[in-house]
């Protein structure tokens, strides 16, 4: 089965800096990979999706990369703000490729704290 590792349980950075979170997986490369944000006491909220044939995706201050050779995705938040403090989860689709299976495996998450 697919195993997912997110580089660290916690990451502290200074406001204004770029936060970089890592998601590594074993076995086959998934059809796509997603990133979610989870605030305390709430359910995860979808942020971005990147497909196996895409190298990079951007959304406002967020950037995601996907390297199927390294079996790794990087999630960047530029010009970080205290409001970005949350836990960030990566999630992989079970299927090899194509449309996907719609069934996700989640990493344990990285808790990001942005210090003013």
Return all residues near 108 (Cβ < 8 A) that are at least 6 apart: 4, 6, 9, 89
Identify which of residues 69 and 102 has a Cβ nearer to other proteins in the complex.
102
What is the footprint of other proteins within residues 38-77 (CB under 8 A)? 41-46, 49
Q: At 25, give phi and psi (nearest 5°).
A: -135, 160
**Which of 19, 21, 30, 32 is close enough to bind other proteins by CB under 8 A?**
32
Identify which of residues 28 and 94 has a Cβ nearer to other proteins in the complex.
94
Work out how close the CB of 12 gets to other proteins at its nearest, in angstroms, rounded to a whole number.
19
Paired with 20 in beta bridges are 76
Q: How many residues bind other proteins (CB under 8 A)?
A: 21
**Distances in Å between the alpha carbon of 73 and those of 58, 63, 103?**
13, 10, 19
CA 101 to mean position of chain CA atoms: 19
Identify which of residues 50 and 80 has a Cβ nearer to other proteins in the complex.
50
Q: Which two tokens stand for residue 30?
A: 């998934």
Whose tokens are 């305390």? That residue is: 40
30 near other proteins, judged by CB under 8 A: no
96 near other proteins, judged by CB under 8 A: no
Q: State the residues that interact with other proteins by CB under 8 A.
A: 32, 34, 41-46, 49, 89, 93, 99-100, 102-109
């Amino acid at each position: 089965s697919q195993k997912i590792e997110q580089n660290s349980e916690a990451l502290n950075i200074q406001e204004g800096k770029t936060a970089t979170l890592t998601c590594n997986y074993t076995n086959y490369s998934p059809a796509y990979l997603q990133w979610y944000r989870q605030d305390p006491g709430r359910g995860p909220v979808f942020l971005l999706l990147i497909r196996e044939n895409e190298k990079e995706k951007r959304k406002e201050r967020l950037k995601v990369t996907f390297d199927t050779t390294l079996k790794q995705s990087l999630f960047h938040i530029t010009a970080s703000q205290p409001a970005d403090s949350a836990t960030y989860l990566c999630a992989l689709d079970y299927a090899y490729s194509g449309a996907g299976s719609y069934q996700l495996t989640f990493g344990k998450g990285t808790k990001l704290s942005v210090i003013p």
